[in-house]
Structure 1
């Protein structure tokens, strides 16, 4: 019997690459996104259900889970992939954008996970994969909101790992480095107020660093391969690093004390 994965944020980047990869591996795929009517590629493939799911809309979450179960009978894995990055001086963010960042990247993951848990619990089986980031273990300047959400995903996932393992449900964390996706486009919410002159030197340093992303970025398939390994390797391994830069940076984070590691980040950004 074919296995089935439900993926959030499957319209582009890591989510779409993963949907196609699992399809090629013989899985059924529930590819969810906020605007499925705009999807033209995945809809042409057999055994892929393209349906609406907005992680901030509870009704859409429940509907997507139920449609997936109705079409394929069972869901075996969940990939919590949907999210975006809010960067900029904290003072420059309206409160509603602060809330939106956490609603999407944290509360959305909790709501989607909670919606599928009764199904997994009834089957005493299932794998939940949460996309974290190197930004869930380390931080860059002007990323207090984004990093706050990814640090939260790390803690939520690790605790759920204990909570769900006795039931037969596995929880996995993927920690990508810099990936060649649209993170700098629609997946980035950058806020700045040039009247706050004290922050502009930091903004300039961040923009310069961001412009060099392509030189070190890995392709989404690097993350997808780690997702597939996490779901299929049959182990209770919790964390999977994705990308050479992620491996190197996270190794340094483990090895160095705060003073030395932060000094290295400052040097990288030109402080």
Structure 2
């Protein structure tokens, strides 16, 4: 009973604050105020507090631009985690835009929606990503192309790095910086996360959104380790396949180090 009272109180606080922030964000989007990039970070931090998710950061975000973050993807919680650490914009499949609640929140953050099945629209989508990066925005890509169980790295799709190539400035020595970021859900209530709780880390495809959300709330405090890896410089003439291999190697190494308890906090 006490646990549900806590959940109810947190939900009320989240709804009240969201009700205050959403009109401001809508105005910021309408008039393209710089605030539109900063406000979502405050909301993400509040949402993490509401869910009881504690973020532990290892390494630092690269300060160079243009910058693309390539992260592994376990569930919708990754959005909150990364969004709480930096003023970022996400690349998501177009279906996300129609999801209840999450679709609306994604549009508030000016998420870039892509339709991978329609080749004729690929050029426009890549150009938008490139334009946002050229404007100094940090773009987050989940190069696995889907969510996993949080225990492994799925195959990285090199085609998704086309945006990095498109974002290259015209200069011959131009560089786009691609930084791998590993997200590892490691502990529940301060204890190492075992097999029983792994479904809370990932988001199985056969579990509804609200059902999964309630499972996270019932589990209590979650710890997630976020590790910023070594940035890979992508230049004109470089291979996207080689870039994908380097990013995948780093993500796999960093993720397994945390899941196996080999990385110090």
Give me the TM-score of the superposition, normalised by structure 1.
0.38
**Which gives a bigger RCO, structure 1 or 2 (Cα 8 Å, sep 6+)?**
2
More helix by share: 1
Give me the TM-score of the superposition, normalised by structure 2.
0.39
